[in-house]
Structure 1
Amino acid sequence: MALPLFFLLFVLCLATSPRDVVALTRGDFPQGFIFGAGTSAFQVEGAAGEDGRKPSIWDTFTHQGYSPDKATADVSADQYHHYKDDVKLMREMGLDAYRFSIAWPRLIPDGRGEINPKGLEYYNNLIDELIRHGIQPHVTVYHFDLPQSLQDEYNGLLSPRFIDDYTAYAQACFESFGDRVKHWVTVNEPNVETLTGFDSGVLPPRRCSYPFGANCTAGDSTTEPYLASHHLLLAHASAVSLYRDKYQATQGGQIGITLLGFWHEPASNSLQDAAAATRMNDFHIGWFMHPLVYGDYPPLMRSRVGARLPGLTAEQTKNLSGSFDFIGFNHYTVARTRADERAFDLKQRNYYADAAATLTYTLGDIGEYAPWALGKLLDHLRLTYRNPPVMIHENGLADASEISRKIQYADDDRSKFLQDYMEVLYQSIQRGSDARGYFVWSFLDEFEFLTGYRSRFGLCGVDMNVKGRTRYMRNSARWYSGFLNGGELRPPGRAYHDSA
């Protein structure tokens, strides 16, 4: 009897293993689940000096030669002139939605004041074209491209004046486009913009202090990341309050915020590294999720950062708590984390020293292939933060640009990558996570903030070497299209199944 019983158990294990999900279709996801792809304005639009647009801090940064290979986004994929062609590609692929951002320096070039008519015309045309082709516009109000004029005037995110200027800009977006846009994101990745711009100083506005940053002419890495993020949080809450009070009832939309969502795992089996990973998940995810759900920063951050972490008034706590209809997460990889308690003993500390942790990768790396990390992230949100509605706003894999040019259409690794992450997303939903959408990064090749044109994330390739910026569908676009149009989750070759 032992052998048949063992055989029966073996068959049952096969029948219920995660590999069964390779037969998933989009119909297995919840009704109304949204599948799309995304870009951002600075990265894809081009037309940097056209029709009244003025510089952002990213224009200044790239024109000063700080980006890889001294690349700029002056032309990039030139979506400003090719948006109709792009929308036709989206329709051909079968996308439900396109996630893009409004360029603040195109719509309100000086940061405040009059709306630029040409900028208004462009975004109206893009939104109308999407809707005409049955594609939902999912719009990010602010995606890193702060008008340079506001940086010059009052140091941008470091001043509370940013909150009022941002709120006025958000109001212009709601009034101009809210009759058609039903999905709004206030701010993209505030938990990385503040670190790269004000802690390490490797990205604009390049503020940092020794020994935590290099080549910065001004800044204070011990305080400025926390102050900049504080103002971004308050700006988010202000825009949400405005939208709910004045627009949501009549426009019928939803509003949220999008965070970078690396999952931190211990780099070893030591208790010290396990504690460091827990701290980093609080510092990375809890930094914003805790105020958004509970109205204050995580107690762990309060105790370790002390008075350098800004306080919240009772009114600010009230405005922050529940200030979202959904939370977006941009997820790519796992971050292996080591304890570094010596850093916490420094008299002058920054973000990572406060967390007493070091990571085994840099933000510029593609990172470790680990679909299971998305499941852990979603479980953490479900168990720790009251299971918020979640949109996976970015998930994707880059090819080196040299490889992309050589093989163009063949990018089967990207299809496998997307397959495995979508399987984990489905499994998380089955466990109770309230995930409502998935967007591939990116729809097109574009200027990447960390790598310039050295890597290509696009489902659709762009020939950056010709004036017309020719587009072409890669195999991953055709694979994704097949799934969206009724096919199964079966990429070319064998799908990976990893574990922690």
Structure 2
Amino acid sequence: MLRLSLWVFLLLNLAATLFSSDIYSRDDFPPDFIFGSGTSAYQVEGAANEDGRTPSIWDTFTHAGIVPGNGDTACDEYHKYKESNHMLHYTIVIYHRHSKMSMEDGKDFTLYADACFREFGDRVLYWTTINEGNIFALAGYDTGMMPPLRCSPPFGFNCSKGNSSTEPYLAAHYILLAHASAAQLYKKKYQDKQHGFIGLNLYAFGMVPLTNTTEDVIATQRAKDFFIGWFMEPLLFGDYPNIMKKNAGSRIPAFTSDESKMVKGSFDFLGLNHYNTLNIKDNPSSLKMDHRDLAGDMAAELIFMQDDPSAFEFPSRPEGLQGVLEYFKQAYGNPPIYIHENGQRTQHNASLNDTRRVEYMKGFIGSLLDAVRNGSNARGYFTWSFLDVLELLDGYESSYGMYYVDLEDPDLKRYPKLSAHWYSDFLKGRSTHAHGMIEVEKNSSALSHAHFVQ
């Protein structure tokens, strides 16, 4: 019996080693699983005054000096697109928080989407209507951290106009209606002949109770309802979560019957952006305030899980991504999901030895693999970002890129970092090992034009 038990123990340990997310390769994912890396228009293109381009809300934002730098030149991708045009084979996001000023002032989003479908639909298979709809509503209309800089005291950041108590709810409502209208148009007019898919992107924090108390556990679910259910329940069921309607009252708009039917089921897939995990603490006192924003209605305190408060990088908590995917599986029927953004923040400098980024990517891709093995309907992963770009909150002070962009070089030359080699080797089928690295090719210049979309 002892010998049999020993053999069982050894076999279980062998299985754990063989199937551990510490040791994996591209071949462990389904053959049709998509990998890639992303950028966005304003953050890389430049050419701000060329070929009829008119100002966007981000031109206004950056030229006000709110972040260091602007996108007038950025990475000059407008002229250097041939170096990375392979990135366009799978996705174009219709709205990446980058609208023209005229559109922000009232131009019809559906007409804009129609033009995109008509002009590019023969080459684009996946359409994402809005990027980070939940963050756009919060940061643009509650805290005022991002364009169009609307907020009100005491909640925002020195905005000149806005109402933090009502406008986030209104913004989210019209984001949902705009998305649903564009999706309805695509499905009726284009999908049968273009054979593409349409979805919406949300930002998804990992959320964990600060303590095991009943109050913090309930507050964590409430936070999930306010951040994710805010969009997912209308998309699946045609209405907002009950807790949101209860706590926000008349400040949250109501869908008409026709609007509810249009929004419900208006997606083929979901895009998720995920970087880090929060602890959630119950905060019932906020509900006693006469004047509340969305955070007050949530009645929960959000605490960033940071091992070292002085660290510039995000703490690597890959289990948070697995938890997010498990939640979408259990709460929302396991819809098709593409991780559109996931990446590590570092300071922008000339060091190409970005081991922290490699460790981060290796951990999160391993966590993603665990989720897929556990039945998640995740179908793709895009690391943020392909190049060092103009970051929307940090300008050029921070970096997420696998390629360093030399901003002092008139030609803005790009250099592959260790993470570029790691990702390229991973996509070629080479296995990670227990210490988190792949033996990358010694000749770094050989990978300077590596293709990352497979």
Are residues 215 and 485 of structure 1, via their aligned partners in 2, closer, same or farther at CA, if it must alter by over 3 Å?
Answer: same
Does 1:147 pair with 2:88?
A: no
Q: State the alpha-carbon separation in 1 of the partners of residues 231 and 434 from structure 2.
A: 35
Q: Which residue of 2 aligns with 1:72?
A: 70
Q: Which residue of 2 aligns with 1:329?
A: 272
Q: Give 1:7 deviation, angstroms.
A: 6.7
Q: State the alpha-carbon separation in 1 of the partners of residues 343 and 366 from structure 2.
A: 14
Does the 8 Å CA contact 1:22/1:488 hold for their aligned counterparts? no
Structure 2 residue aligned with 1:457, among 378, 381, 400? 400
User: Which deviates the most, 14-23 or 230-239?
Assistant: 14-23
Q: Give 1:15 deviation, angstroms.
A: 2.5
Does 1:396 pair with 2:343?
A: yes
Q: What do residues 104-138 of structure 1 show as CA deviations (whole Å, max 9, x unaligned)?
A: xxxxxxxxxxxxxxxxxxxxxxxxxx5xxxxx230
Q: State the alpha-carbon separation in 2 of the partners of residues 235 and 327 from structure 1.
A: 16
Q: For structure 1, which runs of at least 5 residues remain unmatched after alignment?
A: 91-97, 99-129, 131-135, 154-160, 496-500
Structure 2 residue aligned with 1:84, among 57, 82, 85? 82
Q: State the alpha-carbon separation in 2 of the partners of residues 22 and 492 from structure 1.
A: 8
TM-score by length of 1: 0.83
Alignment of 1:117-136 (within 5 A): 136=89
The one-letter code of the counterpart of 1:12 is: L
Alignment of 1:300-339 (within 5 A): 300-339=243-282
Alignment of 1:218-237 (within 5 A): 218-237=161-180
Are residues 491 and 437 of structure 1, via their aligned partners in 2, closer, same or farther at CA, if it must alter by over 3 Å?
Answer: farther
Q: State the alpha-carbon separation in 1 of the partners of residues 46 and 261 from structure 2.
A: 40
Are residues 177 and 426 of structure 1, via their aligned partners in 2, closer, same or farther at CA, if it must alter by over 3 Å?
Answer: same
Does 1:354 pair with 2:297?
A: yes
Does 1:40 pair with 2:40?
A: yes
Quote the sequence identity (%). Answer: 43
Does the 8 Å CA contact 1:141/1:187 hold for their aligned counterparts? yes
Q: Give 1:6 deviation, angstroms.
A: 5.5
Q: What do residues 394-420 of structure 1 show as CA deviations (whole Å, max 9, x unaligned)?
A: 11112111xx32x2x211221121111
Does the 8 Å CA contact 2:269/2:336 hold for their aligned counterparts? yes
Q: Which residue of 2 aligns with 1:441?
A: 384
Does 1:24 pair with 2:24?
A: yes
Aligned residue for 1:16, secondary structure, equals helix
Structure 2 residue aligned with 1:203, among 117, 121, 146? 146
Q: State the alpha-carbon separation in 2 of the partners of residues 467 and 333 from structure 1.
A: 35
Does the 8 Å CA contact 2:278/2:305 hold for their aligned counterparts? no
Q: State the alpha-carbon separation in 2 of the partners of residues 438 and 42 from structure 1.
A: 22
Q: State the alpha-carbon separation in 1 of the partners of residues 17 and 23 from structure 2.
A: 12
Does the 8 Å CA contact 2:103/2:109 hold for their aligned counterparts? no
Q: State the alpha-carbon separation in 1 of the partners of residues 434 and 257 from structure 2.
A: 51
Aligned residue for 1:22, secondary structure, equals coil
Q: State the alpha-carbon separation in 2 of the partners of residues 271 and 368 from structure 1.
A: 27
Q: Give 1:376 deviation, angstroms.
A: 0.8
Aligned residue for 1:436, secondary structure, equals strand
Q: Which residue of 2 aligns with 1:107?
A: none
Q: State the alpha-carbon separation in 2 of the partners of residues 199 and 213 from structure 1.
A: 6
Q: Which residue of 2 aligns with 1:187?
A: 130
Q: Which residue of 2 aligns with 1:61?
A: 61
Alignment of 1:213-292 (within 5 A): 213-292=156-235
The one-letter code of the counterpart of 2:49 is: G
Q: Give 1:252 deviation, angstroms.
A: 0.9
The one-letter code of the counterpart of 2:347 is: A
Aligned residues: 434
Q: Give 1:14 deviation, angstroms.
A: 5.1
Q: State the alpha-carbon separation in 1 of the partners of residues 305 and 366 from structure 2.
A: 27
Q: State the alpha-carbon separation in 2 of the partners of residues 7 and 300 from structure 1.
A: 52
Aligned residue for 2:315, secondary structure, equals coil
Q: Give 1:480 deviation, angstroms.
A: 0.6
Structural RMSD (CA): 2.1
Q: Give 1:31 deviation, angstroms.
A: 2.5
Does the 8 Å CA contact 1:333/1:368 hold for their aligned counterparts? yes
Q: Give 1:344 deviation, angstroms.
A: 1.3
TM-score by length of 2: 0.91
Structure 1 residue aligned with 2:420, among 460, 463, 477? 477
Q: Give 1:476 deviation, angstroms.
A: 0.7
Does the 8 Å CA contact 1:199/1:220 hold for their aligned counterparts? yes
Q: State the alpha-carbon separation in 2 of the partners of residues 14 and 353 from structure 1.
A: 50
Does 1:374 pair with 2:317?
A: no
